[in-house]
Structure 1
Amino acid sequence: MSERPITFFFRGSQQQVENVTPTMTVLQFLREYIQTGKTRQTGTKEGCAEGDCGACTVVIGELVNDNLQLRSVNACIQFLPTLDGKALFTVEDLCTLLPKKDGALHPVQQAMVDMHGSQCGFCTPGFIMSLWAMYENEQHCPSKDQVSNYLSGNLCRCTGYRPIFDAAQKAYDYPRILLKRQKVIEVLKEIKALPALHLNDHGQQFFAPKTLQDFAALRLQLPQARIVAGSTDVGLWVTKQGRNLGDMLYIGQVEELKKIVVTDHALTIGANVSLSDALIKISDVYPDFQELQRRFASMPIKNAGTLGGNIANGSPIGDSMPALITLGTRLILRAGEQTREIALEDFYIDYQKTALQLGEFVEAIVIPLREGQTSFKFASYKIAKRFEQDISAVCAAISCDLDNDDVAHNVRIAFGGMAAIPKRAKYAEAILEGQQLTAELIVLAQEALSKDYQPLDDGRASSAYRLHVAKNCLQRFYVEKILSQTITRVNDLIAMMEI
């Protein structure tokens, strides 16, 4: 590991950046960092500085099995050193992809013009980059649901979304113009051969080890250092609170922690696997997880954030934890060469306090698989003020094995937003365990939730509302999963009206 410049692909070639603080964001680099002979790149905008509005959206390219993976991220909270070994694309890059430099627009941009998808224009560069990521990744014209997913991290407050959705599909009507990826791949391979990155800015250090062994050793040496992955949480500590993060250990270069392994008995997800990849894989194994996958954060946040980070964060309102707890998930914790396993529900001790010991970190998440899942019932529900891009007021997950007589076994119920930690509802579970599930029994379990939880009042919801919603989640599980009745959502009605 050596002190060297941050090195990445930018503007068609290898870019090196020196003498910057480790917490400089990609947005600050683009808009404020000036090198001799180069101008600031101000097409990328700052709207919220917390990864919500999408005005700052850029696209990051990364080598995955020697192929170039392109994904949208929020430049306002992504730290510049995390770009080392990657490629950065902004709205200014799109004109360079055209065969003729005659002022013409990229198909994504032209479609936005033709469909009248921009008014004040402040949010437009972010929309363009999200659409460009979709354009590069989706070979055929996407459905409205796909467009909605790609644009889940972009907000517009004047145009309205219909013309933007129209532009997303209209872009496929023009002759295709795609990125020539081979040059980017060759440059990234050259950068990959460089030694691991180490920065030291006035005593604040940033380490980006490339192996699990090196990362574990550094963690023992610097147990107080902040572990950073996508910075979707700690990025706000800097941009909104002005906090000094101290020394940082970047986990993003550790290849061993990017693996997903499926066996007959378990799905093991490395701590550095992105939320996008992890949630899709879990949904493949447990299809009922798709409800949570769809509503869990925006695409740029899921592209940058990791499942390991979401778990280790210790937030009482992290959306993944209730579902993973009900699925019986265990964590592999590592300190140096030593590892141990712990049930996810035992990982949380108190508000933002976990069972991690000095020098330990989360290495992997192990989700057990079930044979013959026809009798296994599972559901996860996210309750928030908005359908997309919102923090949960309550997040619920319920599972059980159901025999032929509708008798429930291995009942597991967990909630987020109901206590200082993600927590199981042991009293409600006891009511249902070993019993034939009936409407009357569900009422008793609903009443037992008052013993399991005493939620707080806050800006998202009152205590009474949270408890009422939690009870309704039990009722919904019974209607949907036990009675097999279909529940129509407001969003479904809106979609039906648009047909």
Structure 2
Amino acid sequence: LDAAGDLQLRNVNACTQFLPTLDGRALLTVEDVGGPGRLHPAQQALVECHGSQCGFCTPGFVMSLTACYESHQQAGTRPSREAMADALAGNLCRCTGYRPILDAGERMFDVPAQRLDRAPIAAALHTLAADDPLAYDHAGQRFHAPQSLDELARLREAEPEATLLAGSTDIGLWVNKQFRELPALIYTGRVAALREVRPESDGLWIGAAASLEDAWQALAGMVPALAELWRRFASPPVRHAGTLGGNIANGSPIGDGAPALIALGADVLLRRGAQQRRLPLESFYLGYLQNALQPGEFIEALHVPRPDTSWAISAHKVAKRHDSDISAVCAVLALQLRNGRVQQARFAFGGMAAIVKRAAHAEAAVIGRPWVEDTAEAAAAALANDFQPLTDLRGSSAYRLKVAQNLLRKLWLETLERRTVGIWRVARLAA
């Protein structure tokens, strides 16, 4: 149920979900979406379009299509073929062809409607709804699911070594791939205050347990230049479960969340017990997988300032595969322009160093100068003083540096041509 008490259907990856996190929720599998003697429109369309895979992957396609169908039926809309492809971005199998599956995604809206009966599911969930915290202890492993911020703060102080669990899109892999033992888990997903996304006049407050889907939808609404990055950030099943706070706490140098937030000047709100402290997100990262969290402390929320119309913002993700791939380079570039001159610059890059960081030399090369081609070239040249990237399977050091430099040049071209593709607002250069 969402905050309004309405049923919310979202597809997630079952392999990373911890069983206690499903308490109080309805679990639907491929066997549940149809009805007695009938198939769901997504299933029926796959049959009619010959879109079935070899077998193992087909249920995943069914669930992604079902989630897409139910969402659009609820909204009274019909997705484009591109939107359908986005809905299937997390289903990577291509063993028997892909066009028939996309065809099925379009066809299912023409199949006689046989939607899920939401009423009994919602009624059952309302019956199960409880304000009591959940605690589970078995065979030396403990699971706590507090209901309030104060309770979470007390638990975190009492068990600073416990693993904080939110969407489990990363921690789930620790268990099912690395077979790690996690003796104590504190689950944040039942704390309503942490799931809140609150627009304000000066920006956005995003709770640490807000899903990536909800957080990025709000961010892209405030800064449309981030919309394409949002589309390519993981996939719907991952974004539905994963959280922005978890993505930030994870601190991966190749994460796509931190470059956007750092370029926008986001702050992180930390809490330990009743004490809070706030610091710039860029100061949160101390080194590779190291952050400023103290024992017993956790991320409560992030604040993202609202840029005014003097800012030009461009966001780019460069990876080997378009969907569901890790970035070789992620760049979010922000320029404040007044009277054709650069007032401020915030160039944040992922995949270029041990942490996501700003390009201080490149920023210094443009601040105070007229925004002309020579200035963009100076920034590109200065970037070599900011980063000495590693070489790995996603790209060589030279490749990464060249890509990053070219993205700065692309920013210049975008502002020059006053395009709206990949850029939020082109400042009035002649004003």
- TM-score norm. by structure 1 comes to 0.82
- Identity between Structure 1 and Structure 2 (%): 50
User: Counterpart amino acid of 1:276?
Assistant: E
1:365 aligns with 2:302: yes
Aligned residues between the structures: 419
Amino acid at match of 2:105: A
Instruction: Report the AA paired with residue 260 of structure 2.
Output: A
CA distance in 2, matches of 1:278, 1:485: 26
Aligned to 2:138: 201
Matches within 5 A, 1:41-190: 62-96=1-35, 101-102=36-37, 104-139=38-73, 140-190=77-127
- Residue 466 of structure 1 corresponds to which residue in structure 2? 400
From 314, 326, 331, give the equivalent of 1:396: 331
**Shift of the alpha carbon at 1:64?**
3.4
SS of the equivalent of 2:161 reads: coil
Give the secondary structure class of the aligned counterpart of 1:387.
Answer: coil
The separation in 2 between residues aligned to 1:137 and 1:95, in whole angstroms, is: 16
Query: Given residue 113 of structure 1, which amino acid in structure 2 is its aligned partner?
Result: V
Q: Secondary structure at the match of 1:87?
A: coil
User: How far has the Cα of 1:481 moved from its partner?
Assistant: 2.5
Give the drift of 1:63: 3.8
Q: Residues 372-405 of structure 1: CA distance to partner in whole angstroms, max 9, x if unpaired?
A: x1x210011101001110000111111011113x
Between the aligned partners of 1:79 and 1:169, the Cα distance in structure 2 is 33
1:241 aligns with 178
Partner Cα distance (1:249, 1:168) in 2 = 39
Hey, what's the Cα distance between the residues in 1 that align with 2:162 and 2:269? Answer: 20
1:447 counterpart = 2:371: no
Q: CA deviation at 1:356?
A: 0.6
Question: Which structure 2 residue ranges, 5 or more long, are not aligned?
Answer: 423-431
2:136 is aligned with what amino acid? L
Aligned twin of 2:212 = 275
Unaligned runs of 5+ in 1: 1-61, 489-499
8 A contact 1:63–1:86 mirrored in 2: no
Q: Confirm or deny: 8 A CA contact 1:63 1:188 kept in the other structure.
A: no
Q: Which secondary structure state, in structure 2, belongs to the residue aligned with residue 178 of structure 1?
A: coil
CA distance in 2, matches of 1:351, 1:381: 23
Contact persistence 1:63–1:185 (CA under 8 A): no
Normalised to the residue count of structure 2, the TM-score between the two structures is: 0.95
Task: Measure, in 2, the Cα distance between the counterparts of 1:317 and 1:282.
Answer: 20
- Which amino acid letter does the alignment assign opposite residue 387 of structure 1? H
SS of equivalent residue, structure 2 residue 398: helix
Distance in structure 1 (CA, Å) of the matches to 2:344 and 2:87:
37
Tell me which of the two structures has the higher relative contact order, counting C-alpha pairs closer than 8 angstroms and 6 or more residues apart: 2
Asked whether the equivalents of residues 71 and 303 of structure 1 are also in contact (C-alpha less than 8 Å), the reply is: yes
- Give SS of 2:353's match: coil
Distance in 2 of aligned mates of 1:276 and 1:482: 32
TM-fit CA distance, 1:158:
2.1
1:307 counterpart = 2:249: no
Quick one: which amino acid aligns to residue 470 of structure 1?
A
Displacement of 1:189? 1.7
Deviations 1:100-152 (A, max 9, x none): x33x3222111101101014122111100111111111023321122112111
One-letter code aligned to 2:327: S
1:263 positional shift? 1.4
> Aligned residue for 2:314?
379
Corresponding residue for 2:353? 419
What residue is the counterpart of 1:288 in the other structure?
A: 225
C-alpha contact 2:40 2:115 (8 A) present in aligned 1? no
Partner in structure 1 of residue 276 of structure 2: 339
Indicate the larger mover: 62-71 or 202-211: 62-71
* 1:486 to partner: Cα distance: 7.7
Residue deviations 1:315-350, cap 9 Å, x none?
Answer: 111101111111010011000111010000000000
> Does structure 2 retain, via aligned residues, the 8 Å contact 1:271–1:365?
yes
Which residue type is aligned with residue 84 of structure 1? D
- The alpha-carbon deviation at position 433 of structure 1 amounts to 0.3
C-alpha distance 264-122 of structure 1, shift in aligned 2 (>3 A): same
CA distance in structure 1 between the partners assigned to 2:233 and 2:408 by the alignment: 20
What one-letter code is carried by the residue in structure 2 that aligns with 1:83? L
Q: Which amino acid aligns with 1:164?
A: I
Q: The residue matched to 1:411 in structure 2 has which SS?
A: strand
Tell whether the 8 Å contact from 1:197 to 1:208 is kept in structure 2 after alignment.
yes
Residue 84 of structure 2 aligns to a residue in which SS?
Answer: helix
1:482 is displaced (CA, Å) by 3.8
d(CA) in 2 for partners of 1:377, 1:164: 39
1:111 is paired with a residue whose SS is helix
Residue 485 (structure 1) shift: 5.1
Question: Contact 1:329–1:365 (CA<8 Å) still a contact in 2?
Answer: yes
Distance (whole Å) between structure 2 residues aligned to residue 190 and residue 219 of structure 1: 29
**For the structure 1 residues 224 and 398, does the alpha-carbon distance in structure 2 shift closer, same or farther, using more than 3 Å as the test?**
same
Structure 1, residues 263-283: CA drift from partner, whole Å, max 9, x if none?
Answer: 111210101110001001001
Q: CA RMSD in A?
A: 1.4
Equivalence for 1:259:
196
Question: Conserved in 1, the CA contact under 8 Å of 2:336 and 2:344?
Answer: yes
Flag the 1:469–1:212 CA change in 2: closer, same or farther, 3 A: same
- Deviation, structure 1 residue 193: 2.0
